[in-house]
Structure 1
Amino acid sequence: MKKIKKTLLFLSVATILTGCATAPPKNSSNLCDIFREHNDWYDAAADMRDKWDVPIHVPMAMMYQESSFKHDAQPPMQYWFGFIPVGRASTAYGYAQVKDETWEDYGRETGSYFAARSNFDDALDFMGWYINKSSRINKVSKSDAYAQYLNYHEGWGGYKRGSYYKKRWLMETSRKVQQRATLYQRQLQSCEDEFKSGWFFGLFG
């Protein structure tokens, strides 16, 4: 009986946690709509910008490419002979699709030991940290979404070696990230004042 109760309790907690998970934005092609639907995301983005001096539209465009804003995104399962599961392609997980070892490096350097990859605020802060380091290590502008995404995908060493030159698909994907970042930037310029004023002042705006 005790085992049954524990099982029911576990299932109840799991159901509650799943129900509380933030759903991806309904319109992920418009940054204004994203922040209107998830108004706390703008606050997290503004904090990231102020902390790392990284423009909001760059990591948001990168996050869209990485996970489509799904909190539990991860690489697909791989199979032998089409039906025997052998694990996933990598340990990448969460909004920012961060691998275990890179997430651990972030935790050690920033003291964010209790951060979670499935938490939007933490994932965006991680991206700000990574973009900041890419700028410092490889002299890449923080507003250059194309080069920043190449750093993000290939790592600092891979970018320095030019490993992406052999991956035409990756350079094309990076161009798409740049295009989305430019779109997000233009959209945010048209609506950011409403988020800066906050919900209380927005009632009278």
Structure 2
Amino acid sequence: MFSIRILRLLVVASICGLLIGCASRPLSNKEDVCAIFNDKPHWYQAAKRSTERWGGPIHVPMAIIYQESTFTADAKPKMQYFLGIIPTGRPSDAYGYAQALKSTWREYEIAVGSRSPDRDDFSDAVDFVLWYMNVTYQRNGVSKWDAYGHYLNYHEGQGGYSRGSHLSKQWLLNTAKRVDTRAKKFATQLSQCRAELDSKKRGWF
């Protein structure tokens, strides 16, 4: 009886260790979307499900998430300092892969129903970005393949974008151009590995 109990504990401990190892394994190459999805097959499945749910491509939300957090689960805005030494807090409560604000995340929670999504969970984060892109498309008519326009909406909000708040921010326009360039690179990469990704059986992780 004692040995069986020990065996069960060892099995549970092994499974937990495997789960933790898979969750914390770093990406081998954040510049290559095929490498990202090969490292994290469940990310591809999550992104694919969300594109089927909200419409649009995979490469645009991936480029936005890269810009916002470089695929870091617990990313936060940098701490600000007074006189360079006294911390005064962060500029916003943005958090997670998508750097979503609490208020916008709450809108997403209401939109998707009673589930409890987490900002530091990639599946929820990519779904959030695609949901936001769908809202942007409905409100401002931005094509879901237009990474440049979607990043401007993502940063300024749909209302700010419609008022042209981005037009006076050259740094933001430059950032949106970088997001657009990365999205196009991701699209090219994904075209070369998507068939292989689709052929893989969906596993536990």
TM-score (norm 1): 0.85
Q: CA deviation at 1:85?
A: 1.9
SS of 2:24 mapped into structure 1: coil
- 1:64-86 CA distances to partner (integer Å, 9 max, x unpaired)? 00000000000011122322222
Q: Report the residue type matching 1:54 in the other structure.
A: G
When the two chains are superposed, the root-mean-square deviation of aligned CA atoms in Å is 1.8
Q: CA deviation at 1:194?
A: 0.9
1:8 alignment partner in structure 2: none
Q: Report the residue type matching 1:101 in the other structure.
A: S
1:10 alignment partner in structure 2: none
Unaligned runs of 5+ in 1: 1-15, 201-205
SS of 2:77 mapped into structure 1: coil
Paired residue total: 185
User: Would the alpha carbon gap of residues 89 and 23 (structure 1) be closer, same or farther in structure 2, given more than 3 Å must change?
Assistant: farther
Aligned pair partner of 1:132 in 111, 116, 134: 134
2:108 alignment partner in structure 1: 106
Query: Could you tell me how far apart the structure 2 residues matched to 1:94 and 1:41 are?
Result: 15
Q: CA deviation at 1:19?
A: 6.8
Aligned pair partner of 1:192 in 177, 191, 194: 194
Query: Could you tell me how far apart the structure 2 residues matched to 1:179 and 1:22 are?
Result: 28
Q: Within 5 Å, give how 1:10-49 maps onto structure 2.
A: 21-49=23-51
Aligned pair partner of 1:88 in 80, 87, 90: 90
Q: CA deviation at 1:23?
A: 4.7
Q: CA deviation at 1:199?
A: 3.8
1:76 alignment partner in structure 2: 78
- 1:18-56 CA distances to partner (integer Å, 9 max, x unpaired)? 877535522111111110011111000100110011200
User: Would the alpha carbon gap of residues 95 and 124 (structure 1) be closer, same or farther in structure 2, given more than 3 Å must change?
Assistant: same
SS of 1:86 mapped into structure 2: strand
TM-score (norm 2): 0.85
Query: Could you tell me how far apart the structure 2 residues matched to 1:23 and 1:150 are?
Result: 31
Query: Could you tell me how far apart the structure 2 residues matched to 1:43 and 1:187 are?
Result: 17
Q: Report the residue type matching 2:39 in the other structure.
A: E
2:167 alignment partner in structure 1: 165
Runs of 4+ in 1 over 6 A off after TM superposition: 16-20
Identify which range, 48-57 or 109-118, moves more after superposition: 109-118
Q: CA deviation at 1:138?
A: 0.2
Aligned pair partner of 1:152 in 151, 154, 158: 154
Q: Would you say the 8 A contact 1:21–1:71 is kept in 2?
A: no
Q: Would you say the 8 A contact 1:72–1:95 is kept in 2?
A: yes
Q: Report the residue type matching 2:142 in the other structure.
A: V
Query: Could you tell me how far apart the structure 2 residues matched to 1:18 and 1:84 are?
Result: 36
Q: How high is the sequence identity, in percent, across the aligned residues?
A: 49
SS of 2:74 mapped into structure 1: coil
SS of 1:164 mapped into structure 2: coil
Q: Report the residue type matching 2:158 in the other structure.
A: W
